[in-house]
Chains A and B, each alone.
Chain A
């Protein structure tokens, strides 16, 4: 005899702890007497913190005042944000001439527009977009920020940057509307699709040369007033130093990492030594070394300004950290990739440049973002050697006569600003990491 179950047993509903709010609370916050006590204690701490911050920072705070005395007249216990608001321009731009600030904003906007296509999936030729940003943007931005006399080289690079930017924008538009790269679109609209590769390339080169000539002539018609580096400051200076730092540290880091993994003993020893020396000392000692010893290194009569000294120090320091990031990325590449590349007859540079680096770099992007966050935070150290970066500006508020002794509020403002910047970037890099490692699995 067999027992047959004719009717399906009805599904039991999910336990209360999984569905209802009360169940969730019971499971996660009040599961035992100890946990209940812990929850209540934590709630009390949170209450103390939030109410303290709220009363100091918002309820009792003063937002409009002429000087610190007025803040005190308004409230003795609250924050005096009026000082920070009064200095907001200085915090962001330093002592950059007020009527020229648009140049900084315009430079930032250009960078955003230039990089934006990297995030649009329909745009073609992303590698070229990234490469032009690294090669041309610094010159255009450098001239925008510093102004003054354009030498021949600068004129050349600025024209190049203008052409590259225009091509990039046109390429983005054709990508978005026609789902084509700009080159394919031009060839098509000129009716040259049947021509040989060589003719097509020549046509494109001709067009590019023509555009370059036009840009060169156009850029001769305008110039900007010079702004010396001593007037640069605030968040702008922080971003300039860390931006140049990360952009130059990457190639430096790649070279050092390859050197460290090289089979040639002299190259390996030199790279390893260089990396280890800079990684074992604090950044501040490297900065002091830059300001005290770089002037001695230069030939007599040749003077480097402090900003350049600092930037070189930051690049050297970060290249060594980047080298370790790159090395870790290289180690993650399976040996089969090297062997496969050798089998098809590629030499060292072919293997590295065409097979290994593209894979390694892609998976290093989250770590590179991580190093950028670290660099951004470390850049505050330049205030110690007397540059007026964002921290330097925040600290000089307390020396301004109307706001004498206003220390806490600027620092809290700076902390919040850095937190927002760094936290959002680290969230983004974690998101990238998940996305890229998901791509690696299939």
Chain B
């Protein structure tokens, strides 16, 4: 409608709209999309053709031919058998990926435990404890993780006593020793009949679970409470112990022994591993503590007051009323913290822990020079992990939403 057309008093039937090509919504949306696709496509083509040209001009290697080529360097820390000179770049990728997963998993477990602990302390009725927890959170959240990692590595674990003066963490038994080359632990070697102990343990755990279930049922029906904790613990500890002793203690220890200049035998964790584990755990614990605190605060005060008024003890109020309701608010940030832990474990490259970035994206790439493939594979690895975790998060969110409200 043009501006000059003055409103008229009589009712006017709007004429059937003329088809204006550029004003039609479907045409416009198709045009916009074609335009976007065109620009992105052109950009992609431009970058790819440049890359192809550059690779050719520089005579750089392309393709996945490196997969079966011997890598020729060793990893400081590895979970699988690998011999430098024989092992291939494929093995190196495998070692790096496993190392990343190992450190991430351990850091996630430790940071979640520590984070819940500190988060609950943040809400302690003891003023001093709450403030100390607050200081912990603020200090470790506001200092860059990389500085913390480097500090733990250079400032703590590399300044430990030398091998000859190792700290003995097992109180004189020399089973677990710590020195500036890392942590050395004894490794159990199961004997022939050890499986019987394990089987008993499994049976005891299952038995305890069934017992607990029964006890709950009895309580629901009659209101009678049966103590389950002590008998369960006793069964889980004592039964396997008896079987273990009866079968003649079929377990030997591979003990680290000081031979020459270093400890040989057992399991050893290098200082870089320890520094990364400690700093990742503390940094993410500080973040998790905040989400735990926020989650607990999101439960209305009336809930815990009502629980207290029907006679539940404070510990039970927390575990049976507050925490279950806080979980839907805690879990999503918790899981995104786990994802960040996996991603942040890549900072290992700064202190030389053999994770996927340092082994594959740095050392292998510098040696073999398949830049595009190696960068792409490393990124794909992280994407796969992130997508897997967020897939499970979505399932959890859906379930919680259905249960609630």
Asked whether A426 lies within 8 Å of B142 as measured between CB atoms, the reply is yes
Give the 8 A-B residue pairs with the shortest CB-CB distance, closest first: A280-B386, A28-B127, A377-B144, A282-B343, A422-B142, A282-B346, A266-B33, A407-B154
Query: Cβ of A217 < 8 Å from any Cβ of B?
Result: no
Contact segment of B191-199, B301-309, B371-379: B371-379
| Contact status A284-B150, CB under 8 Å | no
Flag the segment in B52-60, B71-79, B84-92, B176-184 that touches A: B52-60
Interfacial chain B residues near A418, Cβ < 8 Å: 142-144, 147
A297 within 8 Å of B (CB atoms): yes
B interface majority secondary structure: helix
Is residue B361 within 8 Å, beta carbon to beta carbon, of the partner chain? yes
Known pairs A292-B365, A384-B350, A419-B143; A267 contacts B36 (CB<8 A)? yes
- With a cutoff of 8 Å between Cβ atoms, the chain B residues found around residue A42 in the complex are 126, 128-129, 132
B272 interface residue per 8 A CB criterion? no
Complex formed: what's the CA distance from A310 to B145 in Å?
A: 19
Chain B positions 206 through 222: 1 when the CB is less than 8 Å from some CB of chain A, otherwise 0: 00000000000000000
Q: How many A-B residue pairs have CB under 8 A?
A: 154
A46 to B132 CA separation, bound complex (whole angstroms) = 8
- Provide the residues of chain A in CB contact with B150, threshold 8 Å: 391, 395, 411
Which of B32, B143, B347 is close to A264, meaning CB atoms less than 8 Å apart? Answer: B32
Interface presence of B357 (CB below 8 A)? yes
How far does the alpha carbon of A42 sit from the alpha carbon of B347 in the complex, in Å? Answer: 33
Q: Is the CB of B375 within 8 A of A292?
A: yes
* Inter-subunit contact B151/A381 (CB<8 Å): no
Query: Which residues of the other chain, B, contact A263 by a CB distance below 8 angstroms?
Result: 29
Let me know if A264 and B29 touch, CB within 8 A. Answer: yes
Q: With contacts A408-B154, A411-B150 known, is A38 near B144, CB below 8 A? A: no
Give the Cβ gap from A142 to chain B, nearest Cβ, in Å: 26
B382 at the interface (CB under 8 A from A): yes
B361 touches A288 (CB 8 A): yes
A295 at interface, CB cutoff 8 A: yes
Residue pair A281, B54 in contact (C-beta under 8 Å): no
In the bound complex, do residue A282 and residue B357 qualify as a contact, i.e. CB atoms below 8 Å apart? yes
B106 beta carbon closer than 8 Å to chain A? no
Q: List 5 contacting pairs A-B, 8 Å CB cutoff, sorted by A.
A: A46-B128, A280-B387, A293-B51, A408-B151, A418-B147
Residue among A29, A42, A43, A408 with max Cβ neighbours from chain B (10 Å): A42
Distance in Å: Cβ of A208 to nearest Cβ of chain B: 32
On whether the beta carbons of B154 and A411 are closer than 8 Å, the reply is yes
Q: Which of B36, B54, B126, B361 contacts A296, CB < 8 Å?
A: B54
Give Cα A293 to B57, complex, Å. Answer: 15
Asked if residues B36 and A270 are in contact (CB atoms below 8 Å), the reply is yes
B148 on the A face (CB < 8 A) = yes
* Contact residues on B (Cβ < 8 Å of other chain), bracket: 35 or more
Which residues on A sit within 8 Å (CB–CB) of B226? none
> Number of residues in A with C-beta < 8 Å to the partner?
54
Pick the contact of B146 from A45, A300, A380 — CB < 8 Å?
A380
A408 touches B125 (CB 8 A): no
Which of the residues A267, A297, A377, A423 comes within 8 Å of B145, measured between beta carbons?
A377
Chain B residues contacting A285 (CB-CB under 8 Å) are 346, 357, 361, 375, 378-379, 382
- Complex CA gap A385/B345 in Å reads 16
Contact B54 A380 (CB under 8 A): no
A414 contacts the other chain (CB 8 A): yes
B354-381 vs A, CB cutoff 8 Å, 1 = contact: the mask equals 0001000110010000011001001100
Q: B132 near A45 (CB under 8 angstroms)?
A: yes
The answer to whether A381 touches B146 (Cβ under 8 A) is: yes
Known: A28-B127, A292-B371, A423-B138. A411 touches B54 (CB 8 A): no
Q: Any chain B CB within 8 A of the CB of A219?
A: no
- Whether A383 is near chain B, meaning CB under 8 Å from some CB there, is yes
Q: Which residues of B contact A199 (CB under 8 A)?
A: none
Hey, what's the 0/1 contact readout for A191-214 against B, CB within 8 Å counting as 1?
A: 000000000000000000000000
Partner of B33 from the list A264, A281, A380 (CB cut-off 8 Å) is: A264
CB of B24 to closest CB in A, whole Å: 14
Q: Which of A43, A281, A283 contacts B128 (CB 8 A)?
A: A43
Neighbour of B54 across the interface among A300, A373, A391, A419, CB < 8 A: A300
Interface membership of B170, Cβ < 8 A = no
Q: Is the CB of B146 within 8 A of A288?
A: no
Q: Which residues of B contact A407 (CB under 8 A)?
A: 154-155
Contact in complex: A419, B142 (CB < 8 Å): yes
Q: Does A58 belong to the interface (CB within 8 Å)?
A: no
Extra contacts, 15 of them, besides A39-B129, A266-B36, A296-B54 (Cβ < 8 A), are A29-B128, A31-B126, A35-B125, A267-B36, A281-B383, A283-B343, A288-B361, A293-B372, A299-B50, A408-B151, A408-B154, A411-B151, A415-B143, A415-B148, A418-B143
In the complex, are the beta carbons of A35 and B142 less than 8 A apart?
Answer: no
B230 CB within 8 Å of chain A:
no
In the bound complex, residues from chain A placing their C-beta under 8 Å from that of B386 are 279-281
A12-57, CB < 8 A from B = 28-29, 31, 35, 38-39, 42-43, 45-46
Q: Does A289 contact B (CB under 8 A)?
A: yes
Residue A265 at the B interface, CB < 8 A?
yes
Q: Given A264-B29, A423-B138, A426-B142, answer yes or no on A31-B125 (Cβ-Cβ < 8 Å).
A: yes
Let me know if A378 is at the binding interface, CB within 8 A: yes
Separation of A282 and B340 alpha carbons in the complex (Å): 8
Q: Do residues B344 and A288 form an inter-chain contact, with CB atoms below 8 A?
A: no
In the complex, which residues of chain A have a beta carbon less than 8 angstroms from the beta carbon of B151?
408, 411-412, 415
Whether A408 contacts B155 by the Cβ 8 Å rule is yes
Interfacial chain B residues near A267, Cβ < 8 Å: 32-33, 36
A277 touches B (CB below 8 Å):
yes
Mark out the residues of chain B between 98 and 129 whose CB falls within 8 Å of any chain A CB in the assembled complex: 125-129
**Cβ B146 vs Cβ A391 within 8 A:** yes
How far, in angstroms, from A43 to B131 measured CA to CA in the complex? 11
> Is there an interface contact between A296 and B382, defined as CB atoms closer than 8 Å?
no
Distance in angstroms from B278 CB to nearest chain A CB is 15
Instruction: Name the B residues within 8 Å of A112 (CB-CB).
Output: none
**For B132, what are the chain A residues with a Cβ–Cβ distance below 8 Å?**
42, 45-46
Residues from chain B with Cβ under 8 Å of A298 in the complex: 50, 54
